Amino acid sequence: MEALQHGPTPVNTGLGHTRGGQNAPDSGDRLLARGLQVILVGPPVGFTVPPNELLDKCPSATEDSLTLEELDRCAREHATVYVSANVAMKQYAERRGIPYVDLHELACNQSFCPILDSEGNLLFIDNWHRSAYGAAWLAQKVREHDVFDQVIGRE
């Protein structure tokens, strides 16, 4: 905990849920003007339909259920709700030199977008809120990629 006492002050600005991240510049600039160290966490992955409905909505090459590859492709196609907000927030962070945690790149990108964990548990409870399984999955991704060490400069 010693490192946290001398590191960034956590402040939840609710940026991901305010007009698609459009308040990021105002809120971020105000925090920076106060001399606070800022780490911007991007918006969650957001789907056009609840992920549990993708099983019925997405086409399969066979009459059986979707393959994991088909489900993953379909999830990527429907994970578009916060993409533009993510891009805007990331560009803002880059212009200001603010560390940015890109949840889209970490959890749902052009290579993969799982909606089930390795045990078959649904990672989302609706279009963007993660289930307990999803929260554990994302926390594991954060640990695997040393996200916090990278953003506070302890690579």
45-58 per-position pLDDT tens digit: 999 999 989 888 88
| Global pTM exceeds 0.85 | no
pLDDT the model gives residue 16: 44
The Cα 131–Cα 135 span in angstroms is: 6
User: The dihedral of CA 67, 76, 16, 147: what is its sign?
Assistant: positive
Q: What is the mean pLDDT of residues 94-110?
A: 91
pLDDT exceeds cutoff 60 at 24: no
**For the chain, how many residues are written?**
155
- Percent with pLDDT over 70 in the chain: 82
Tokens of 97: 């030199």
Which residue has better confidence, 28 or 81? 81
Q: Where are the chain's structural domains?
A: 2-151
User: The dihedral of CA 145, 147, 148, 154: what is its sign?
Assistant: positive
Tokens of 20: 């698609």
Q: In this structure, what are the phi and psi dihedrals at residue 47, rounded to the nearest 5 degrees?
A: -100, 150
